């Protein structure tokens, strides 16, 4: 079994925030791969399913971003999962909108959700970094990540979330490079005529 965690903040007011792209990815994977209904567990919401032949527990912590690690630790401890069995889907300022990178471990780079998960389960987890772009000025970052995606973002965002869900079997099979390649291929803009 693997634990896939989408980071975000609970509540309708945060639903379309850039910071909630991890929740959005988890929801799209759940829909695409016909997971069980979401239910409250481990201070979050969970759904079970199978992706790429692997049993996956999806988790959306309901602890708010800064305490995400508490929910992740509870789920990991219950299922006796080590950090390498955990994949965290999160927003990434340092990637262009719609770009995806996967890596194991590393620093939190100012991301409070990652900082919390690192503190509670260690930083040897896998991370799926979902590019949201940078506002261009460090002083604007807080309001940017806690702001809604613009209407103009909807086409690339939907394309990205669909691509992540479609390529998820490669991630489940332990093929992060192939996953990134497939997402990049699926999110290419259509060729002009």
Catalytic residues: 19
Cβ count near 150 (within 10 Å): 10
For every residue of the chain, which 3-state class applies, written as one string?
A: CEEEEECCCCCHHHCCEHHHHHHHHHHHHHHHCCCCCCEEECCEEEEEEEECCEEEEEEEECCCHHHHHHHHHHHHHHCCCCHHHEEEEEEECCCCCCCEEEEECCCCCCCHHHHHHHHHHCCCCEEEEEECCCCCCHHHHHHHHCCECCHHHHHHHHHHHHHHHHHHHHHHCCCHHHHHHHHHHHCCCCCCC
For residues 48 and 140, give the distance between their C-alpha atoms in angstroms, rounded to a whole number: 37
Strand partners, 44: 41, 61
């Amino acid at each position: 079994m693997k634990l896939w965690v989408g980071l975000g903040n609970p509540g309708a007011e945060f639903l379309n925030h850039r910071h909630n792209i991890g929740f959005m990815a988890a929801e799209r994977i759940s829909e695409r791969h016909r997971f069980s209904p979401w239910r409250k567990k481990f201070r979050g919401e969970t759904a079970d399913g199978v992706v790429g032949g692997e049993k996956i527990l999806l988790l959306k912590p309901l602890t708010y971003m800064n305490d995400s690690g508490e929910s992740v630790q509870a789920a990991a401890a219950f299922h006796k999962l080590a950090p390498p069995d955990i994949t965290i889907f999160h927003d990434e300022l340092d990637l262009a909108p719609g770009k995806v990178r996967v890596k194991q471990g590393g620093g939190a780079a100012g991301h409070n959700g990652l900082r919390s998960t690192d503190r509670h389960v260690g930083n040897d987890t896998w991370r799926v970094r979902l590019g949201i772009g940078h506002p261009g000025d460090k002083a604007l970052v807080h309001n940017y990540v806690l702001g809604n995606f613009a209407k103009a973002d909807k086409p690339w965002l939907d394309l990205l979330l669909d691509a992540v869900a479609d390529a998820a079997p490669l991630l489940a099979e332990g093929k992060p490079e192939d996953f990134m390649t497939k997402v990049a291929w699926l999110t290419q803009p259509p060729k002009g005529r």
